[in-house]
Amino acid sequence: MKTGKIKINGNILVLIIAWLIVVGVFSGLNRNYFTTTNMVNILTAAALVGLVAVAHTYLIIELQNDLCPGSLCAFAGVLSALLVTNFGMNFWLAMIVTLVVCSLVGMFNAFMVNRIHLEAFIATLVTQAIIRGFAYIICDGKPVAITDATFIAIGKDRFLGLPISVWIMLIAFVVFGFILAKTKFGRSVYAIGGNPQAARLAGLNPQRIVTISFIMMGIMCGIGGVIFAGRMNSGQPAANINLEFDAITAVILGGVSFSGGVGNMLGTVIGVLLIQSFNTGLTMVNVSSFWQYVARGALLLFALTADYIRKTRNDQKLLELSKKNG
């Protein structure tokens, strides 16, 4: 099992080089790509993916997954917009209610994984469909307009030149990166991902740790959904489709392994920046939306292939080490 110590390793350097290549290529194709305005736009667009990727980092290290963030973010945006616009609720109270509801969704996912023993992929696929349905049902399939000044400010206001949403994403990266790398809970996350049975025998409670991580995902989706609704001036039930795939791609590109127990938050940060720079570049050079789906799928395939290669190399090193010690 590898630790969560954040350091500049070979994988991080490869990611940085890949990001520089992406920026260089798209800057050559569109001179407006590498500008301060567009870099801020990339960070703004990355905020939602980044928040979801933070929680996905924990889950994937734990050998778990979550396919419902896109639906849950859309539901959170619609619910908060309804509470503020239709029911006249104070924005901050509506935010708290939304986060509580999203946390309950995370608990439901954890219940299906821990108690019913469904694979996380199947359990959260179920939730994905249910929550998207509720997003349409509670607003009768129509976007909910937002006029509340505080709500809109959360999505659009800036501090020191950067949108509030970007600051929230950066704070989440720092706080949860520190927790993952430097705390007992973070070490427990790596332990249950590296060897769940050994972690259980060591006195850890994998079900509790997995539950906390799914609740974390619910909270991140709630925050991200509210921010997105404020930025769009409306809660939209059809929003954020395939958000989870961008987040998963970013996390796997960042070096978090689907085999569990490996990865850190720094890799996720660069992975998020890389995938959003790539997506924005495709849009700016007028690649059709149909081909963008193909390109994103290819990027996910590349991330999974890279993960397989990393795992194969690590297994080979472990085998050679065991032979040498044996």
Q: pLDDT grade, residue 3 (50/70/90)?
A: very low
Q: Which of 112, 133, 107 is nearest to 123 (CA)?
A: 112
Which range is least confidently modeled, 8-17, 40-49, 98-107, 116-125?
8-17
The band of 170, judged by pLDDT with boundaries at 50, 70 and 90, is very high
Alpha carbons 291 and 310: distance in angstroms, whole number: 28
Residue 74, helix vs strand vs coil: helix
CA angle 309, 314, 320 (to 5 degrees): 125
* DSSP 8-state class, residue 219: H
**Structural domains in the chain, sorted by start:** 10-316 (1.10.3470)
Mean pLDDT of the chain: 89
- Phi, psi at 145, each rounded to 5°: -65, 145
Tokens of 299: 């990027």
d(C-alpha 255, C-alpha 265), whole Å: 9
4-15 mean pLDDT: 64
pLDDT > 90? residue 310? no
Is 4:180 a contact under the CB 8 Å cutoff? Answer: yes
